[in-house]
């Protein structure tokens, strides 16, 4: 398989824990599409001095990808000596096509011609990605922020308090809304997690029209992606049909006071996206002691406990030459 076999790209993005992986697994069930693990390394590679208009050092770039701890999660080592001539004479898009093609071949889908990338941060680089991949399409997936908060605060990365979670969610969704406004409906489409879960076929059919692919019923089974070992515990539901109970579980996981604070902090943001409020104008903001409690939680859990847990989970990559530089211990994605 050569790099040229990956002819188009689908970049799924949005706030983390909003269903990017679920959607990737659905699209990956399509015969033409290969869904890869999250590719947090791709922007680092694009920014590298190795990628420049005067002459791209492809061999060195492939070596850099191999060494990047985020790519090692893929468990698809690249053979530098086997890089095809088309890639040697190409640029960034061709290089990434080669990388994805190697993953597709290893996962028994060599005929795939479309790359589905479900890295949440894609939405914050929509313009950059389209500049590199002109035929790509961007999918902005949105989920009720209260559900996102209920999901993220239990993990060993991301915000640990309801106040920080509310602001973090608004920030990430804002990237998507900006991309929609600037790039237009021909390049960016928005879908809602709740609708995808409760009516997958109803969402996937028009989405396939947008992506210029044929709808295939097996897509609703969400079996088109196998999470790498590094993220298996975070993606326990991948490969299963969407569970409609997930759309309202946050109402049991969050306390009434957490819901009230979230609505107060996000103000009309939930309403703009079509999510009804429980408290509305009556939502009371956090008291002084609640703000301090949140800061303490972020300090103890975020900066100490969760970092230890995250480092323990990432121990296979400790010896990577650039792990600590690339890991970004103060701003981990997962």
Q: What average pLDDT does this structure show over 224-228?
A: 88
- 285 DSSP assignment: P
CB within 8 Å of 233: residues ≥ 6 apart:
none
Give me the mean pLDDT over the 275-304 stretch: 90
Window from 92-96, 129-133, 265-269, 330-334 with minimum mean pLDDT: 330-334
Beta carbons of 92 and 62 less than 8 angstroms apart: no
Residue 231 token pair: 């993220």
Mean pLDDT, rounded, for 301-306: 79
pLDDT for residue 4: 46
- Asked whether residue 115 is domain-assigned, the answer is yes
Q: Is 42 exposed, middle or buried (0-12, 13-18, 19+ CB in 10 A)?
A: buried
Predicted pLDDT at 111 = 86
Q: Is 134 exposed, middle or buried (0-12, 13-18, 19+ CB in 10 A)?
A: exposed
Determine, yes or no, domain membership for 317.
Answer: yes
> How many domains does the structure of the chain reveal?
1
Residue 302 lies in a domain: yes
pLDDT of residue 81: 79
| Residue-level pLDDT at 156 | 80
What is the mean pLDDT of the segment spanning 147-154? Answer: 93
Instruction: Determine the Cα–Cα distance for residues 91 and 103; give it in Å rounded to an integer.
Output: 19
Looking at residue 328, its pLDDT comes to 52
How many residues comprise the chain? Answer: 334
User: Mean pLDDT, to the nearest integer, of 74-97?
Assistant: 80
Residue 92 lies in a domain: yes
200 part of a folded domain: yes
Report the C-alpha gap between 138 and 190 in whole angstroms. 9
Residue 141, helix vs strand vs coil: strand
pLDDT tens readout for residues 151-189: 999 888 889 999 999 999 999 999 999 999 999 999 999
Q: Structural domain of residue 127, as residue ranges?
A: 3-327
pTM: 0.89
| pLDDT for 233 | 65
Q: What CATH number does residue 321 fall under? A: 3.40.50.300
| Domain contains 294 | yes
Write down the residue that tokens 């996000």 correspond to: 266
Tell me whether residue 282 is in a domain. yes
Domain membership of residue 240 (yes or no) is yes
Question: Over 60: is that where the pLDDT of 16 sits?
Answer: yes
Contact (Cβ atoms closer than 8 angstroms) between residue 193 and residue 173: no
């Amino acid at each position: 398989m050569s790099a040229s076999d990956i002819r188009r790209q689908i970049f799924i993005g949005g706030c983390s824990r909003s269903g990017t992986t679920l959607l990737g697994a659905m699209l990956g069930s399509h015969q033409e599409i290969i869904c890869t693990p999250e590719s947090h390394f791709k922007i680092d590679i694009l920014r590298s001095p190795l990628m420049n208009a005067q002459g791209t050092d492809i061999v060195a770039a492939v070596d850099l990808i191999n060494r990047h701890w985020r790519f090692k999660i893929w468990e698809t080592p690249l053979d530098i000596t086997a890089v095809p001539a088309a890639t040697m004479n190409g640029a960034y898009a061709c290089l990434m096509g080669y990388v994805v093609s190697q993953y597709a071949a290893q996962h028994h889908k060599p005929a795939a011609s479309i790359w589905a990338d479900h890295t949440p941060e894609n939405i914050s680089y929509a313009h950059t990605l389209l500049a590199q991949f002109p035929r790509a399409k961007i999918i902005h997936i949105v989920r009720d922020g209260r559900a996102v908060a209920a999901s993220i605060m239990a993990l060993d990365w991301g915000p640990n308090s309801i106040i920080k979670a509310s602001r973090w969610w608004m920030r990430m969704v804002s990237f998507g809304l900006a991309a929609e406004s600037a790039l237009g409906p021909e390049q960016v489409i928005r879908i809602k997690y709740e609708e995808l879960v409760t009516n997958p076929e109803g969402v996937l059919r028009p989405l396939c029209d947008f992506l210029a692919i044929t709808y295939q019923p097996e897509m609703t089974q969400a079996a088109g992606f196998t999470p790498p070992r590094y993220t298996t515990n975070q993606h326990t539901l991948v490969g299963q049909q969407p569970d409609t109970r997930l759309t309202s579980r946050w109402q049991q996981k969050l306390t009434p006071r957490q819901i009230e604070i979230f609505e107060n902090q996000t103000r009309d943001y939930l309403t703009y996206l079509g999510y009804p409020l429980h408290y509305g104008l009556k939502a009371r903001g956090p008291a002084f002691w609640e703000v301090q409690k949140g800061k303490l939680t972020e300090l103890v859990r975020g900066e100490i406990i969760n970092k230890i847990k995250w480092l323990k989970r990432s121990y296979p990559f400790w010896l990577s030459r650039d792990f600590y530089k690339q890991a970004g211990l103060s701003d981990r994605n997962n």
